[in-house]
C-alpha cells in the first residue's frame, strides 16, 4: 500500500512519531497494588520492560552475609552473550536462584516455589505460588527449578526433588545421590501447576540443574559444589548419562558451579555459564567451547557479569545464572533503544512529517497562483 501511495508515508511517520512519544513517556506507576502472594514487597502495577536484545540472563545478587531469603533477582540482556546490561525498566525483587523463559509475549521468572509473569505488551506483572504434584495428586517438594519449552510449547521444569526432606535441612546435603526430576505444565494452569513425569532423569550428588537443547540432544548441567557436571539424553524426559569424554563423574569443569548452558547454532558452539569466586566475591563467568570431549579449564572462562553491571557495590556477589534465547527475529537493529532513543526517533519522524506538509502547502499555493495568472 505504501508503495502505491507514497504521499501517505510522511503523515504516517508523523503519527508513528506521536505513538513513540507516548511510549517514551510511559513508565511505571508510582502507586500500584502489591502482589500479596508470594511477595508482599512486589508491585502488581505497570512494569514497562524495554527488552530489545536477543538473550536474557536472570541472576540473583547476594549482599555480604545475606541468606537465600534476602537475595534479589535481576534480569539482564545481551546481543552476544558476552556483554550484559540490566533490562531498562527492571525492578529487582526478593528471590533466589531465578529461572527465566518467555512464551507468547509473556516473560516467566521462576524462583523456588513461586513465579512472576510479565506481560511484555501490556506492561503488567503478576505473581503466585507454583506447585508440582505426582500423577496421584500428592504434592512434590522441589528446589532450584530450571525451565524449558517442550515440542508442544508447554513449560517443563527440571528440579531437585526434595520430597521427604525435613524442614530446615538443605536438600542437597548428605552423601546420598539426589533425584533430579522433571514435571510438565498442566493444561490451562498458566505454568502454576505441574505434574511429575516418571523418573528420575538422573541420580547424582549435586544441586541446581539447568536444562537446554542443542538441536539433536538434551543437555543437563548440575552443580556439584563449586564444580559443574554435564549429562545428555536423546529425549527430554529420558534417562540422562554422562558424556564419555567427561568420565563417570560427568565433571565438566572445576571452574565454578550453579551453571547455565546454551547452544549457539549459528557458530556451532556451546556457551557454559557458572558463578565462581573471583577476588572474594562471586561473579558470572562464561566459556565458549565446541563440545564435551574434555573438561573445561579455569582459563577457558571469562567474567561477563559482576556487581558493577547491576549498579551494586563491589562486595556484592552475582550468582545463579539462567539464560534464555529469544531467537534472532526479536533482536532489534537499533540495540539499546530505550526512552531517550524513542524520543529522538519520534522527533525525527515528526520533523519529517512537518517538512512534508510545508512542502505540500507551498506546492498547492504555487498551483493556485499559477491558475490566477492570465
Residues of the chain with pLDDT under 70: 1-46, 329-374
Q: Element (H or E) spanning 362, and its range?
A: helix 339-372
Predicted pLDDT at 44: 54
* 3-state DSSP assignment of residue 76: strand
Alpha carbons 95 and 13: distance in angstroms, whole number? 43
Peptide bond into 200 cis (omega under 30): yes
Would you call 87 exposed, middle or buried from its count of C-beta atoms within 10 A (0-12, 13-18, 19+)? buried
- Which pLDDT belongs to residue 177? 85
Helix axes 339-372 and 9-25, enclosed angle (nearest 10): 150
- pLDDT tens digits, residue range 114-123? 999 999 999 8
What pLDDT is attached to residue 114? 94
Q: What is the pLDDT of residue 154?
A: 98
Place of cell 509473569: 117
Containing 299, the helix (H) or strand (E) segment is none
DSSP letter (8 states) at residue 273: E
Long-range Cβ contact pairs of 108-114 (< 8 A, separation 24 or more)? 108/147, 108/155, 108/191, 109/58, 109/73, 109/75, 110/145, 110/147, 110/157, 111/73, 112/142, 112/143, 112/144, 112/145, 113/38, 114/38, 114/39
pLDDT of residue 315: 98
d(CA 288, CA 53): 20
Return the DSSP state at 335: T
Strand, coil or helix: what is 68?
A: helix
pLDDT score recorded for residue 17: 42
Torsion of CA 78, 340, 333, 1, to 10 degrees: 140
pLDDT of residue 360: 53
The helix/strand/coil state of 145 is strand
Architecture of the domain whose range is 51-330:
5 Propeller (2.115)
SS3 271: strand
**Where does residue 247 fall: left (phi above 0), alpha (psi -120 to 50 degrees), or beta otherwise?**
left
**Separation CA 6–CA 182 (nearest Å):** 55
Q: What is residue 374's predicted lDDT score, i.e. its pLDDT?
A: 47
- What is the C-alpha to C-alpha distance for residues 205 and 172, in angstroms, rounded to an integer? 7
Amino acid at each position: 500500500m505504501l508503495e502505491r501511495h507514497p504521499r501517505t508515508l510522511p503523515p504516517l511517520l508523523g503519527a508513528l512519531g506521536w505513538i513513540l512519544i507516548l511510549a517514551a513517556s510511559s513508565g511505571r506507576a508510582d502507586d500500584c497494588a502489591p502482589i500479596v502472594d508470594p511477595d508482599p514487597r512486589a508491585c502488581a502495577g505497570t512494569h514497562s520492560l524495554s527488552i530489545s536484545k536477543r538473550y536474557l540472563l536472570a541472576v540473583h545478587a547476594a549482599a555480604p552475609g545475606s541468606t537465600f531469603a534476602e537475595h534479589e533477582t535481576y534480569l539482564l540482556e545481551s546481543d552476544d552473550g558476552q556483554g550484559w546490561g540490566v533490562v531498562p525498566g527492571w525492578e529487582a525483587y526478593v528471590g533466589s536462584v531465578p529461572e527465566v523463559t518467555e512464551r507468547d509475549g509473556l516473560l516467566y521468572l521462576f524462583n523456588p516455589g513461586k513465579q512472576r509473569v510479565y506481560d511484555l505488551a501490556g506492561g503488567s506483572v503478576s505473581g503466585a505460588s507454583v506447585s508440582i504434584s505426582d500423577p496421584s495428586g500428592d504434592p512434590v517438594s522441589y528446589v532450584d527449578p530450571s525451565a524449558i519449552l517442550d515440542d508442544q510449547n508447554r513449560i517443563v521444569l527440571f528440579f531437585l526433588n526434595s520430597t521427604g526432606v525435613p524442614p530446615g535441612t538443605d536438600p542437597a546435603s548428605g552423601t546420598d545421590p539426589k533425584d533430579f526430576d522433571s514435571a510438565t505444565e498442566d493444561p490451562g494452569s498458566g505454568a502454576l501447576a505441574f505434574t511429575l513425569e516418571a523418573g528420575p532423569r538422573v541420580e547424582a550428588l549435586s544441586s541446581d540443574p539447568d536444562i537446554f537443547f542443542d538441536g539433536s540432544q538434551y543437555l543437563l548441567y548440575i552443580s556439584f559444589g563449586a564444580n559443574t557436571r554435564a549429562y545428555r539424553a536423546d529425549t527430554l524426559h529420558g534417562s540422562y548419562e554422562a558424556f564419555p569424554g567427561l568420565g563417570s563423574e560427568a565433571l565438566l569443569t572445576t571452574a565454578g558451579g550453579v551453571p547455565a548452558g546454551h547452544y549457539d547454532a549459528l557458530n556451532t558452539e556451546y556457551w557454559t555459564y557458572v558463578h565462581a569466586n573471583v577476588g572474594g566475591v562471586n561473579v558470572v563467568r562464561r566459556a565458549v567451547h565446541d563440545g564435551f570431549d574434555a573438561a573445561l579449564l579455569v582459563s577457558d572462562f571469562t567474567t561477563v557479569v559482576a556487581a558493577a553491571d547491576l549498579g551494586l557495590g563491589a562486595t556484592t556477589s552475582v550468582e545463579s545464572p539462567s539464560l534464555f534465547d529469544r531467537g534472532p527475529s526479536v533482536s532489534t537493529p537499533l540495540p539499546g533503544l530505550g526512552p531517550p532513543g524513542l524520543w529522538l526517533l519520534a522527533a525525527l519522524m515528526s520533523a519529517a512529517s512537518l517538512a512534508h506538509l510545508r512542502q505540500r502547502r507551498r506546492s498547492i499555493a504555487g498551483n493556485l497562483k499559477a491558475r490566477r495568472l492570465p
